Amino acid sequence: MRISLSGIGRVVSTLLFLWVLTGFAAAGQTVDLDSLFRQAGDLQSEGNLQGAVETLVKVPPPAPGQDGEPFVRSRMQMARIQFSLKELDKAQATCRQVLALYPDNSEAKNFLASIEQERKSRLGAFIDDCLRFLPVLLKGALMTLLLVLCTMLISPLGGLFIALGRISHFRPLTAFCWLVIWLFRGTPLLLQLFFIYYGLPALGITFRPFTAAVIGLGLNYSAYLGEIIRGAIQSVDHGQMEAAKALGMTYRQAMRRIIIPQTYKRLMPPIGNEFIALIKDTALVSTIAMVELMRSADQMFNTYFNITALILAAIIYLVFTTVFTFIFEKIEYRAGIYEHR
């Protein structure tokens, strides 16, 4: 093994040596500059701009005492091509190559300035794009927010119902709640939305897109929150229920006054998680004819082929999730205030 490895090493080093040698030889050769320029011109007129740049870059920097004109010409032509390719960084770098050798070259200086100008107008174009997309996106975002808020209102109530059903001693209710969780946690939300919006009409039940979306999201998140709430209720010390009962409270009173209020703090982190996921899951309802943030961004992107729309949508989602995270942290702190000594 060792022998073969060192054998390979030897072959590689030999090849390297040869490569370096030929490199020096090539440098020593005088390049036929005229033919290079001609070749580049041909490629450029054929529309092969990349090829033209690759040809021009072969023009070497002048040796000391040599005429620098061909080098400067080649680089400026390169910079122009790069500029037309919108490769502003590369064009700038090429101009700087010239300025490095000839700091006073006015052509390179001027071109550099105009690249800078172009850069600024690009920012302007970005701002223009933003102004163009934002109204549409914000309208979509408003719908997303509405969906999120509706689901946030429905799912904790649904979740609480499912949780209480799961821990009740009334068998049919327990079974029903188990079934709901099994069904809605076990199938994709996308499928559920499709089923409600496209599937149910076949059975004669038709919903408007918004209603279908809220039903789908509401049921799905109720199922998830149901398990979270059940866990939180069951994690409250059993003695609390006994103490409440010993005072003479009914099961309902004990739950409402004693047990459930003690779950708020421990509910906040997982529920916050779910709601953050919810904000992003609303994007799925764009598939059932809902025009919300994702759908708006998609439309803008497809109309203008402009990724600014997607970037802006991402930023709006981030703003939503950030604000909600912040709010949940505050609520969690307040909910647990009694634990602070």
Partner 1 sequence: MNTAKQPLLELVGITKRFKQLTAVNGVNLVVNPGEKLVIIGPSGSGKSTLLRAVNFLEQIDDGIIRFEGREVGYLRKHGKLHLDRQQVICGLRAEIGMVFQHFHLFPHMTVLANVMEGPLTVQKKGQRAAQEIALEMLGKVGLLDKKEVYPATLSGGQKQRVAIARALAMKPKLMLFDEPTSALDPELVGEVFDTIHALADEGMTMVIVTHHMGFARELADRVIFMEAGSFVVEETPADFFSDQLGNERIRAFLNRLI
> Is the CB of 49 or the CB of 335 nearer to partner 1?
335
CB of 333 to partner 1, least distance (A): 14
Contact 57, 70 (CB under 8 A): no
Site map (CB under 8 A) of partner 1, residues 125-144, x = contact: --------------------
Q: Whole-number minimum distance, CB 257 to partner 1, in Å?
A: 5
Decide whether 33 or 249 has the Cβ nearer to partner 1. Answer: 249
Min dist CB 270 to partner 1, Å, is: 19
Of 115 and 233, nearer to partner 1 (C-beta) is 233
**Residue 224 and residue 159 in contact, taking contact as beta carbons nearer than 8 Å:** yes
Report, in Å, the least distance between residue 174 CB and partner 1. 19
What is the smallest separation between the CB atom of 298 and partner 1, expressed in angstroms?
Answer: 46
159 CB-near residues (< 8 Å, 6+ apart)? 221, 222, 223, 224, 225, 226, 228, 229
Window 11-40: residues binding partner 1 (CB under 8 A): none
260-319 residues near partner 1, rule: CB under 8 A: 261-262
Give the per-residue contact string, 226-265, with partner 1 (x = CB under 8 A; - = no). -----------x-xx-xxxxxxxxxx-x---xx--xx---
When the beta carbons of 124 and 261 are compared against partner 1, the nearer one is 261
- Which is closer to partner 1, CB of 82 or CB of 262? 262
| Nearest C-alpha neighbor of 335 from the set 259, 262, 234 | 262
Q: Which is nearer to partner 1, 210 or 251 (CB)?
A: 251
Q: Which long-range contacts (CB under 8 A, 24 or more apart) does 299-303 make?
A: 299/136, 300/133, 300/136, 300/137
| Per-residue CA distances from 75 to 116, 172, 329 (Å) | 18, 82, 57
* Residue closer to partner 1 (CB basis): 116 or 237: 237
- CB contact at 8 A, 324 and 176: no
**DSSP for 166-224, written as a single string:** HHSS-HHHHHHHHHHHHHHHHS-HHHHHHIIIIIGGGGT----HHHHHHHHHHHHHHHH
Smallest separation, CB 164 to partner 1 (Å): 15
Looking from the CA of 331 toward its CB, the CA atoms found within 13 Å total: 16
Cα-based distances in Å from 53 to 112, 116, 118, 205: 18, 21, 21, 64
Binding mask 156-195 for partner 1 (x = CB under 8 A): ----------------------------------------
Cβ of residue 170: shortest distance to partner 1, in angstroms? Answer: 13
Binding residues for partner 1 (CB under 8 A) = 237, 239-240, 242-251, 253, 257-258, 261-262, 338-341
